[in-house]
Amino acid sequence: MNHLKNLNYIQQECVKNTDGPMIIISGPGSGKTRVITCKIIQILNMGINPYNVLALTFTNKSAKEMVSRVQSMIKEKSLSNLWAGTFHSMFARILRFEAELIGFNTHFTILDNDDSKSMIKRIIQDFKLDKEIYKPNAIFSKISLLKNNLINPKKYENDYELQKTDNTKNQPKFYLIYKNYVERCKKNNNMDFDDLLVNTLNLLKDSPKTLLKYQDIFKYILIDEFQDTNLLQLEIIKILAEKNNNLCVVGDDSQSIYSFRGANINNILNFNNLYPKAKVFKLEENYRSSKNILDAANSLISYNEQKLEKIIWTQKEQGEKIQLTKIESDKSEGLMIAEKIKKNYPEKKYSDHLILYRMNSQSRSIEEGLRRFNINYKVFGLSFYKRKEIKDLLAYLKLIVNKQDEESLIRIINFPARGIGKTSIEKIRDYSFDKSIPIWKVLKKINDIQININGGTKKKIIKFCELIEKYSSNQFKNAFELTNLLIENLNLINLLNKENTIESLSKVENIKELLNAIKLFSDEQEDNTIANFLDQSVLVNENENKNNEDNENYVSLMTIHQSKGLEFSHVHIIGMEENIFPSQQAMFSKKDIEEERRLLYVAITRAQEQVHLSYCKSRFRFNSYIANEPSRFLNEINKKCIHELDLSNNQKINYKKPVFKKKDSLFTFKTPKKKLIKVSNSKYEEKKIIQMNLEIGKNIKHNIFGKGKIVNLTDLNQKMEVEFENNTKKTILVRYAKFDIID
């Protein structure tokens, strides 16, 4: 019984009770992974073959960790035939054996999301439907949601309300797309990710013999993160567990945050209704956080009506109060957090810090603040300037400034889609290469050259060239005004809003955040041209995360959804404002507000020692500063748990140049008075590199990175490697840099 040795009483009871249905309600940091691991060991020690145990998780990483832990504790037994993995992987395994029973070949192909979207796109084309109304991404998301809610094409066809909604949205042909998509998948021997579940359920329902076979195999079923299951997953589990009834589910209703993926919190809330005789265990002792953090989390979640009663507690010390900071702006917020992290270093390593945000777009101001303080960081997911929609827009700006930039040209010639296909682009590239003529000149002379491209496409190319020429002729005007007009002209935001998917709405926020960045730049810089903005963004990307390549000491940045299951000493949660957290999309639904509250609960309970909350007095959104109300959630946290700090009126951020100075109640950028070396003229015509003063060993003072020494010069002095005072090395593009030579 060594596996019971380090468990508390409740954990031991969870492990020792193996038969019959049971639910383990596991609070954050309560050791649920250890309990599941020990429970599998307990079952195997009873003489049950690993082949008769099904353990389902939501990530392959979790499954591997679970098996590894079990194997380390029972080295004498092989776990090679244990059924442990994600829902999709385990049911794909079943279908590889049984697919012929439902009309598929066992060698079926699993479609990834891009494959599915491509098929939907072809169906839309085949039916000659308007792709602006029937957007493939949105159609794919809707089909996925329907499948996970047990609504197949036949059921959809007979649902009057669903048909009515389609007509209201001007999508009366959606049913035809859905029906045709399902039929083509079957005809082509394809299954998408959702089909792996749908077809498993169909198999078990349509073949009683097969159902009995797998009921006999799976004598014990364990499910982790049960609060994240959807209706389809629940139906499969119910039918598989029906014979033996040895079903153990583990989860926390207060951490149910994935409804946008189809997760149904009612699965865990109503478990006792499905299984009235189920044993109920509550893991309420937390081994992660201080008392103060848990008191704050408990007080917050108490405002939810949809919940299972539990009180999370700890034997740890009271700990520090949650720090709640009111700050002037989102730019100041990023600098404030960076300064706080820098002050605590090296007592607290960078890797002790986690910065969480509600939306991906919020990472930009935080990234900027961390860079200003030369703090290593890593964005989980793509960092701001590496996101596709941002790179696409920057490519437009680069082409406006430099029409010879062929990489940018090829990237956006058909973005957004304007009917210039890949074949036409390849013909243009081939012609350019064969004749040694720049691609832009080929496009400009498209009607005068011998190239096999149809007249309709040529007209679209001419229109594209006219667009670029129009903005190129105005490139020395205010960067923000020009970029704003460009985005309006491209109709990007409207196109993405029409898709109305989580992914498309996130892209909209990122585009707006790029506009915010350009607006701040335009207000702060005397030379506020597109070219100058691009210069600065190139410098950012040149050095981004360079010091992290072989360094695990970095600040982690991610959305709250990505942080589930993680823990850090210090957790910073930014943007605690109405319309941001809770999200604007959740404001009119009590159910959605409760999920937003659970999201904050998850964020707070990632912390071991300290939680930092911050909100802005005003935030630059939608092309202007907007006065924000603090998040309603801040009033729901017990005031005894919070220490409040107001930095909105008298803030001074102490970082190396540039500095912040109070002006008109906003913190605005002020360029240092000391003259910086100019490496280009004010209108960014042909740039000339100043070489005469650049020598290895010279000391410089960079307006962002501070003092440093030139240790290397490359590319005819266009690049210099500089070692700065904090022992970090950065490659500086001379043409883009603003610096003083100080000796």
d(Cα 31, Cα 261) in Å, to the nearest integer?
26
Among the listed residues 194, 195, 224, 499, the single catalytic one is: 224
Report the half-sphere exposure of 65 (CA within 13 A, side-chain side).
12
Which residue type occupies 64?
K
Give CA–CA dist 376/5, Å, rounded. Answer: 41
Exactly one of 11, 171, 229, 255 is catalytic; which is it?
Answer: 255
Give the whole-angstrom CA distance, residue 581 versus residue 389.
Answer: 23
Residue with tokens 């946290």, as numbered in its chain: 637
Helix (H) / strand (E) containing 169: none
For residue 225, indicate whether it is catalytic.
yes
How many angstroms separate the CA atoms of 140 and 160, rounded? Answer: 21
Whole-angstrom distance, CA of residue 731 vs CA of residue 708: 12
Q: Out of 32, 364, 597, 619, pick the active-site residue.
A: 32
Question: Is 621 noted as a catalytic residue in this protein?
Answer: no
Contacts of 627 (CB under 8 A, 6+ apart): 617, 618
Which of 192, 195, 225, 577 is flagged as catalytic?
225
Q: Which residues have a Cβ under 8 Å from the Cβ of 624 and sit 6 or more positions away? A: none
Q: 722 CB contacts (<8 Å, ≥6 apart)?
A: 700, 702, 705, 708, 709, 710, 711, 729, 730, 731, 732
* Omega cis (within 30) before 50: no
Residues with Cβ within 8 Å of residue 158, at least 6 apart in sequence? none
Instruction: Tell me whether strands 699-702 and 739-741 are parallel, antiparallel or unpaired.
Output: antiparallel
The beta-strand segments (E) located in 328-397 are 353-357, 377-379
- For residue 607, what are the β-bridge partners? 568
- Is 255 known to be catalytic? yes
Identify the CA nearest to 737 among candidates 676, 695, 694.
676
Locate 433 and state its tokens.
Answer: 């290469």
630 cis-preceded (ω within 30 degrees of 0) = no
Q: How many CA atoms lie within 13 A of 743 on its CB side?
A: 10
Collapse the DSSP code of 571 into the 3-class scheme (helix H, G, I; strand E, B; otherwise coil) and give the result: strand
723 forms beta bridges with 709, 729
What residues form DSSP beta bridges with 618?
Answer: 627
Question: Which residue is catalytic, options 135, 371, 398, 606?
Answer: 606
- Name the burial class of residue 661, with classes exposed (0-12), middle (13-18) and buried (19+) by CB atoms within 10 angstroms of its CB: exposed
* Residue appearing with tokens 């700050």: 327
Of 65, 59, 64, 19, whose CA–CA distance to 39 is shortest? 19
Residues whose CB falls within 8 Å of the CB of residue 607, separated by 6 or more in sequence, listed in order: 288, 289, 293, 354, 567, 568, 569, 570, 571
The CA-based diameter of the chain, rounded to the nearest angstrom, is 86
Report the SS3 class of residue 194: helix
CA 538, CA 534: separation in Å to the nearest integer? 6
Q: Which candidate in 33, 86, 163, 210 is catalytic? A: 33
Whether residue 388 lies in the annotated active site: no
Tokens 């109305």 -> residue: 500
Give yes or no for a contact between 145 and 138, defined as CB atoms under 8 angstroms apart: no
Q: 214: closest CA among 235, 244, 194? A: 244
Which residues have a catalytic role annotated?
32-33, 224-225, 255, 606
